[in-house]
Amino acid sequence: MAAMDATDRKILAQLQENAAQPVAEIARKVGLSVTPCWRRIQRLEETGVIRKRVALLDPQKVDVGMSVFVAVRTDQHNADWLAQFADMISAMPEVVEFYRMSGEVDYLLRVVVSDMAAYDAFYRNLISKVQLTDVSSSFAMEEIKFTTALPIDGPEGS
């Protein structure tokens, strides 16, 4: 893909704010007519800059308001084990984020559940399916910042 210009970045900012807004509204806000704006959006989708457009749900209103950060350590560091583990985790709908880490923790999961009993069921399922050295859970007490918007213009002031 050709390098993104300032107009592409403005379009992305608008889509991150509200992907459901009409193209005509985005075009107006970024200073383009509708057709060139739509072509840019299509190009950004075709090149994978825009992976998908989704609805963000309120976790409390869909009864998964408890966020748990699960740190996993293992002594298994081979491709077969990782493939099995990744497949298993990917099939668990409670896991909304999954990272391979550097440092003391091998994998970090963000799990969303309704309550402690639901987390306990998740935990029991997790440890029954794969060999792990250590599983440590931290429960989020308060969500202070949450966004899906990526910083596309760099840090403020730069």
The 10s digit of each residue's pLDDT in 109-156 is 999 999 999 999 999 999 999 989 999 999 999 999 999 999 987 444
* Interaxial angle between packed helices 6-17 and 34-46, expressed in degrees from 0 to 180 and rounded to the nearest 10: 80
Q: How far is CA 29 from CA 7, 24, 118, 138, in A?
A: 10, 9, 44, 42
CA–CA dist 81, 5 (Å, integer) = 42
Mean pLDDT, to the nearest integer, of 94-117? 98
pTM reported for the whole predicted model: 0.86
What fold, for 6-46? Answer: Arc Repressor Mutant, subunit A (1.10.10)
Q: How far is CA 62 from CA 56, 57, 112, in A?
A: 11, 8, 11
Residue located via tokens 């090149």: 47
Strands 107-113 and 66-73 come out as: antiparallel
Contact 135, 127 (CB under 8 A): yes
Q: Which pLDDT band holds residue 48 (cuts at 50, 70, 90)?
A: very high
Where exactly are the structural domains of the chain?
6-46, 66-139
CA–CA dist 115, 111 (Å, integer) = 11
Give the pLDDT confidence score for residue 1 in this predicted structure: 54
Scanning 21-115, the segments in alpha helix (DSSP H) are 23-30, 34-46, 79-90
What fold, for 66-139? Answer: Alpha-Beta Plaits (3.30.70)
Per-residue H/E/C for 14-42: HHHHCCCCCHHHHHHHHCCCHHHHHHHHH
Among candidate residues 129, 93, 124, the one with its CA nearest the CA of residue 111: 93
Give the pLDDT confidence score for residue 2 in this predicted structure: 63
